[in-house]
Amino acid sequence: MPDSGSDRFIREVCVLAGRFPPLVLVQSMNHDREDIPEPLRGRTVKVGASSSHAIALSCGLASVGKIVVLATDRPDFIGQSWNDIRHTLLQSLQNITVVLLPPSPRSVGPVVSESWSLLRQIPVTEIYVPADVEEMRQALDYCVTRHAPTFIHAPADEIDPAAPAPAFGSARFSPGVWPRLRDGSDLAVITAGDLAAAALHAASRLAAEGIQASVVHASSIQPVDRSALLALVRKIRRVITCERHSVCGGLGSAVAEVLAESGSGAKLVRLGMSDLDPAVSVSAKSILRAAKALLKSEGKRSGS
């Protein structure tokens, strides 16, 4: 059975625990992990499914010198504990990394995520969305030495196996930098997190029809890589954003704000989740469909 996101995450945190003796794992999970190996086992606190308690408790741990990694698989964690995040975590500015893991397949809960829209309210918040496990490992490495609260949205368990792996080259995770994974001049697809693979897959399919798409991996929702974004839209006037998040307040909104304020005039289509149709998810197919619709709406045909 393939490793789940939670398995991979635990492994990475164990490695970090070996390097950083003050590191403590706080679990606020629907389904607690019981198989945590040493040295992390003796440094794990389970707070069960409660969420607001987890934030303040983590702040208490950090105040006595601990480096806290707070892991949750609850999709509604940020919303439920927003008051504590706003008034306690983001005011105390301690070394706490909140990792939002993919929900357990056994979970039944809300589908549409609005976490980023809340976290973006506070400009100092850093929100990272790694595309894969390796990038998550590097992001964790960065965040635990950050001495400030940071948030990591871990990649989903099931990344499309038919999709090509994102090509990061030698430079992978760099905080606040959005790498361009593929060049193309007809349109740009900007994806958050693990949707990079789906976007590359869609871009290959478009290329077969004569449409050249750039693909940019938004490795952070905040900070936005403004310079990369503005450089992109200087030459490309059609942009699609993709996220496993509500269309309101997440990546699409962050990009829209930059584009609107810069007066770029680029046409933007936001793909994401919506309460209007929570079953719809973003995939290579939906990206392909949106790209063709966008080009058609502007009268551009394949190869022209």
Q: Which residues bind another protein (CB under 8 A)?
A: 24, 42-43, 45, 47, 50, 52-53, 55-66, 83-84, 86-88, 91-93
Nearer to another protein, 92 or 281 (CB): 92
Are 295 and 202 a contacting pair, CB within 8 Å? Answer: no
Tell how far CA 281 is from the center of its chain: 15
Minimum Å gap between C-beta 235 and another protein is 44
Are 77 and 50 a contacting pair, CB within 8 Å? Answer: no
Nearer to another protein, 59 or 131 (CB): 59
Q: Where are the beta strands (DSSP E) in 49-106?
A: 67-72, 96-100
Minimum Å gap between C-beta 303 and another protein is 58
Nearer to another protein, 83 or 302 (CB): 83
Nearer to another protein, 68 or 240 (CB): 68
What whole-number distance in Å separates Cα of residue 1 and Cα of residue 18?
27
Are 121 and 161 a contacting pair, CB within 8 Å? Answer: no
Minimum Å gap between C-beta 48 and another protein is 8
SS3 content of the chain, % helix, strand, coil (to 5): 35, 20, 45
Structure-token match 């040295």, residue found:
39
Minimum Å gap between C-beta 28 and another protein is 11
Q: Which stretches within 194-268 are classed as H helix?
A: 196-208, 226-235, 251-262
Minimum Å gap between C-beta 69 and another protein is 14
Q: Which two tokens stand for residue 224?
A: 């936005």
Nearer to another protein, 30 or 52 (CB): 52
